């Protein structure tokens, strides 16, 4: 419990950090942009989201990135390990026309995914969709990095041959989900590995929490499916669920939430008290716990 308790303390410290003043400017990113531009307006937008995050990390007064339209790439859209001390907000335009709606899609075949945060990274997504990844999680967060899914953030229709169809949290990563966010219609299927052709079903259709923290303040985790366990959430980490909806998810076991107990015995009683409220209508059961 020592290590996981330390993660919890870190998470609370980050969540309770003083709010920063509104940024004086934003970086813009679009598929028709150019990384040689300054990125400070729609007409001088950047092309690469990763480049925009690098620029924001190195320029303290700009911590807001606006994505215009669909960004699609067979190489990682964002692979970062240090954004500095403050949070960077990645968002779509609030008044976006249909063709300007912000969507991030990774089309490659690397299971590690197209959007990954590691180390000293702290990013918030709002009013943006991360969807259509054919062979990877929508998001991955690890090594102490923190991702917040705020209003309008939607992780949907991603497919992974492995764990975490929507979001994978591992190696001390931190995920925060707020009201107005959605993780939906993601899938994990069975994958084959090794020379002997061994196979294992993927776990955590919506969220795979393997070793880290997930704090669910609200939002919807719906219609996610797995061949393995944890249609909505698979957890062998530190899971806190305060509010929201977890429904219509499907798995072999634990359609809503599958809790792998052992060293994390404090998780199951907390979630158990909330079952039957926002956690309902999952197949085969809303909450199941693995006893060692």
pLDDT at 191: 75
Tell me, yes or no, whether 22 lies in a domain: no
pLDDT of 23 higher than 80: no
State how many domains the chain has.
Answer: 1
pLDDT at 265: 40
Confidence of residue 262 (pLDDT cuts 50, 70, 90): very low
Give me the percent of the chain exceeding a pLDDT of 70.
82
Tell me, yes or no, whether 122 lies in a domain: yes
Q: Give pLDDT tens digits for 45-66.
A: 999 999 999 999 887 778 999 9
pLDDT of 92 higher than 90: yes
pLDDT at 255: 96
Distance in angstroms (rounded) separating the CA atoms of residues 214 and 1? 16
pTM: 0.88
Residues 243, 273 contacting (CB under 8 angstroms): no
pLDDT at 13: 56
Tell me, yes or no, whether 118 lies in a domain: yes
Helix (H, G, I), strand (E, B) or coil at 199: strand
Tell me, yes or no, whether 91 lies in a domain: yes
Average pLDDT for 62-79: 93
pLDDT at 138: 94
Listed in sequence order, the residues at least 6 apart from 42 whose beta carbon sits closer than 8 Å to its beta carbon are 28, 30, 68
Tell me, yes or no, whether 21 lies in a domain: no
Average pLDDT for 135-162: 94
Q: Which of 17-21, 77-81, 104-108, 276-280 has the lowest mean pLDDT?
A: 17-21
pLDDT at 240: 86
Confidence of residue 292 (pLDDT cuts 50, 70, 90): low
Tell me, yes or no, whether 144 lies in a domain: yes
Q: Residue 266: left (phi > 0), alpha (psi -120 to 50), or beta?
A: alpha
Tell me, yes or no, whether 74 lies in a domain: yes
Q: Give pLDDT tens digits for 171-219.
A: 999 999 999 999 999 999 987 766 776 788 889 999 999 989 999 999 9
Confidence of residue 263 (pLDDT cuts 50, 70, 90): very low
pLDDT at 112: 65
Parallel, antiparallel, or unpaired for β 128-131 and 153-156? parallel
Give me the domain span that covers residue 166: 2-16+27-290
Average pLDDT for 77-88: 86
Considering only residues 37 and 1, tell me which one the structure prediction assigns the higher pLDDT.
Answer: 37
CB atoms within 10 A of CB 152: 17
Task: Look over the chain and give the mean of its residue pLDDT values, rounded to a whole number.
Answer: 86
Average pLDDT for 129-155: 95
pLDDT at 47: 97
Tell me, yes or no, whether 228 lies in a domain: yes
pLDDT at 264: 43
């Amino acid at each position: 419990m020592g290590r996981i308790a330390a993660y919890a303390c870190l998470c609370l410290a980050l969540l309770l950090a003083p709010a920063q003043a509104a940024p004086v400017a934003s970086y813009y990113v679009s598929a028709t942009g150019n990384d040689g531009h300054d990125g400070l307006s729609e007409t001088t937008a950047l092309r690469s989201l990763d480049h925009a995050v690098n620029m924001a990390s190195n320029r303290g007064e700009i911590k807001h990135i606006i994505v215009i339209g669909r960004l699609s790439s067979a190489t990682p859209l964002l692979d970062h390990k240090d954004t500095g001390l403050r949070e960077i907000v990645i968002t779509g335009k609030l008044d976006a026309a249909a063709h300007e709606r912000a969507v991030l899609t990774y089309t490659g075949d690397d299971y590690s995914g197209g959007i990954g945060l590691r180390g000293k990274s702290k990013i918030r997504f709002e009013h943006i969709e991360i969807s259509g990844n054919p062979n990877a999680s929508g998001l991955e967060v690890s090594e102490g990095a923190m991702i917040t899914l705020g209003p309008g953030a939607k992780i949907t229709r991603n497919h992974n041959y492995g764990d975490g169809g929507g979001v994978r949290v591992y190696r001390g990563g931190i995920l925060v989900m707020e009201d107005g966010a959605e993780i939906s219609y993601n899938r994990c299927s069975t994958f084959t590995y090794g020379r002997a052709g061994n196979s294992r079903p993927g776990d955590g259709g919506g969220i795979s929490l393997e070793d880290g923290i997930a704090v669910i303040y609200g939002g919807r985790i719906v219609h996610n499916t797995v061949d393995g366990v944890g249609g909505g959430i698979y957890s062998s980490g530190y899971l806190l669920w305060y509010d929201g909806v977890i429904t219509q998810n499907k798995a072999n076991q634990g359609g809503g939430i599958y809790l792998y107990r052992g060293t994390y015995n404090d998780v199951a009683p907390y979630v158990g008290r909330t079952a039957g409220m926002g956690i309902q209508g999952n197949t085969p059961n809303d909450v199941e716990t693995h006893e060692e």
